[in-house]
């Protein structure tokens, strides 16, 4: 196994030590143990670890979630949360930062190792998808060609997500044959995701294709996808944390 590097963000000395010893037994290299979000950001900038483990309840607050949000926005590094919380509001807030996993206190060393391995694997796969997406041209003509190549026989219908379909001629989306009521931008982002099934659409690509003008941001895309998900009967849009979104082929 490659010797992966880890930064631990934990303000409880005993928990931090247990994490360190458990990880070292599994071959990980501990670059730093940080007690605060500010110290963690300095260490992340300095060491560029493979992964960060963050206690949600730093300093008896939710500073861990704030740190996760900053990492997701600014660093191409996966992170997982260490938590003893079961509060739905806190978990819901943590989910919005797009972590790669959760470890519940008191943690089991084997589960900890498995969670880290899965997080790093998922991050690596998403990074490869992003490279593939960046290498592909995103414009109206190329998207239309991709959709046309995916059509069913000689009819302008593309099936995806098992029971979804898109009429590429009318630009209409269906679920089990029932038309979905979507806005123009919701149709556009879904059309883009279907054209690039299995590949990550980055925030920049989505902005360029959906808005076609200045003024949109990553938050614009996040909000658009959030609204679209609320209208879809099943959750087919996957997060590529900090990068963009994709639909599995």
pLDDT one-digit tens code per residue, 2-46: 689 999 999 999 999 999 999 999 999 999 999 999 999 999 999
Superfamily of domain 5-133: Response regulator (3.40.50.2300)
59-109: pLDDT as tens digits: 766 789 999 999 998 999 999 999 876 667 777 888 888 899 988 888 888
Going from N- to C-terminal start, the domains of the chain cover: 5-133, 136-247
Flag whether pLDDT at 223 surpasses 90: yes
Indicate if 136-247 has the same CATH topology as 5-133: no
Dihedrals phi, psi of 52, to nearest 5 degrees: -125, 135
- Which range in 11-25, 49-63, 149-163 is most confidently predicted, on average pLDDT? 11-25
The architecture in CATH of the region 136-247 reads Orthogonal Bundle (1.10)
Percent of all residues in the chain with a pLDDT value above 90, rounded to a whole number: 52
């Amino acid at each position: 196994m490659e010797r992966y590097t880890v930064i631990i963000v934990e303000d409880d000395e005993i928990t931090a030590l247990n994490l360190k010893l458990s990880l070292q037994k599994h071959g990980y290299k501990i670059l730093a143990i940080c007690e605060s979000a500010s110290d963690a950001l300095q260490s992340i900038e300095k060491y560029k670890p493979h992964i960060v483990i963050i206690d949600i309840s730093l300093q008896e607050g939710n500073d861990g979630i704030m740190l996760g949000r900053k990492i997701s926005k600014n660093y191409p590094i996966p992170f997982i949360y260490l938590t003893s919380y079961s509060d739905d509001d806190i978990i819901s807030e943590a989910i919005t930062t797009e972590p790669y996993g959760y470890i519940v206190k008191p943690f089991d060393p084997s589960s900890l190792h498995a969670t880290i391995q899965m997080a790093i694997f998922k991050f690596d796969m998403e990074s490869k998808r992003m490279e593939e997406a960046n290498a592909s041209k995103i414009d109206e003509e190329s998207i239309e060609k991709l959709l046309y190549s995916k059509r069913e026989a000689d009819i302008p219908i593309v099936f995806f997500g098992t029971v979804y379909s898109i009429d590429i001629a009318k630009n209409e989306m269906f679920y089990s044959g029932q038309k979905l009521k979507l806005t123009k931008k919701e149709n556009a982002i879904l059309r883009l995701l279907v054209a690039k099934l299995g590949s990550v659409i980055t925030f920049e690509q989505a902005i360029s294709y959906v808005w076609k003008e200045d003024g949109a941001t990553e938050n614009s895309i996040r909000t658009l996808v959030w609204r679209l998900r609320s209208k879809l009967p099943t959750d087919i849009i996957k997060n590529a944390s900090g990068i963009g979104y994709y639909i599995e082929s």
